[in-house]
Amino acid sequence: MTFQGAFTALVTPFKNGEIDQDAYRELIEWQIEQGINGLVPCGTTGEAATMTHDEQGEVIRICVEQAKGRVPVIAGAGSNNTKEAVNLTQLAKQAGADATLQITPYYNKPTPAGLLAHFKALSAEASMPFILYNVPGRTGLNALPETVAMIANEVPDVVGIKEATANLIQCSDVIEQCPEGFVIFSGDDFTVLPLMSIGGHGVISVVSNIAPKMMSDMCAAFKAGDIAKAKELHYKMQPLNRAMFMETNPIPVKTSLGMMGKLEASFRLPIVPLMSDNEIKLKTVLKENGII
């Protein structure tokens, strides 16, 4: 499987507090029809933090089953507990995921040596391709380029990174210091095009839940050398990007999908529905940009 282009960090539809399998399958099918390059179940956007392990395994299995090998599936399977991350990774592997997305352990803030030991343990006990996920805003830990390069060189299963710092200097240093072919995805929808311009491979995106064709078209245009089209789509998506982060992700994007009739905008605590004032603003942006 090729890890490049636009991958959607899928929301998880809920109904009556349970996973809405029908809505999830329909969302996945629509994403593939719209030209998305890959799918990422059970990430932050998918509310994995509020799921049981069995539920995560089910969501990954449904995604792999529905994708039918048409696009790669990178399953969220990370934890701040290495043993738990191993168990989740084994579930993802059993479900048939092509790779897993592994967040740097949050809250306990390991040292670089601790990060290396974490990924070595994952590789030893549940070997498969891993995409490291660096998102300091949620973890309290920034995996610096020299640390990422050390892990990439010493743990061959670590084949790439989702960089959610929006720091192009740091991203450039990662590309410079890591082995040739190491994949770097943007984890920040605002900076996908700039990251690709310095050697990035694509994005694991929130906004592509509601605009998969626009995001995949932008990545494809850049790859084809049509910089004018890529730039046009970049700026066309910026109002949507801003709207998707007017409150904590995934509140706005899931609310948007509800407005589009794709699913019920249902959340699990401690995530709560969008504030009424922001709902009005969101609807306006979606209408102005032809989403609803």
Q: Are strands 18-19 and 14-15 parallel, antiparallel or unpaired?
A: antiparallel
133 is catalytic: yes
204 belongs to an annotated ligand binding site:
yes
**Adjacent-strand bridge partners of 183:** 160
Residues 6 or more apart whose Cβ sits within 8 Å of residue 100: 74, 75, 76, 77, 78, 88, 89, 92, 93, 128, 129, 130, 131
Among 93, 162, 254, 262, the active-site one is 162
Helix (H) or strand (E) holding 81: none
Find, among 97, 62, 68, 64, the residue nearest to 77 by Cα.
97
Contact, 137 vs 160, CB < 8 A?
no
Among 15, 24, 120, 133, the active-site one is 133
What tokens appear for 137 in the block? 């805003």
**Adjacent-strand bridge partners of 185:** 162, 202
What tokens appear for 78 in the block? 């990370």
Exposed/middle/buried for residue 37 (C-beta within 10 Å: 0-12, 13-18, 19+):
buried
Contact, 243 vs 287, CB < 8 A?
no
d(CA 23, CA 14) in angstroms, rounded, equals 9
Rounded alpha-carbon distances, angstroms, from residue 97 to 21, 137, 152, 177, 280: 18, 27, 20, 28, 38
Contact, 207 vs 239, CB < 8 A?
no
- Compute how many other C-beta atoms are within 10 angstroms of the C-beta atom of residue 10: 26
Annotated binding site: 45, 204
Binding-site positions for pyruvate: 45, 204
Catalytic positions are 133, 162
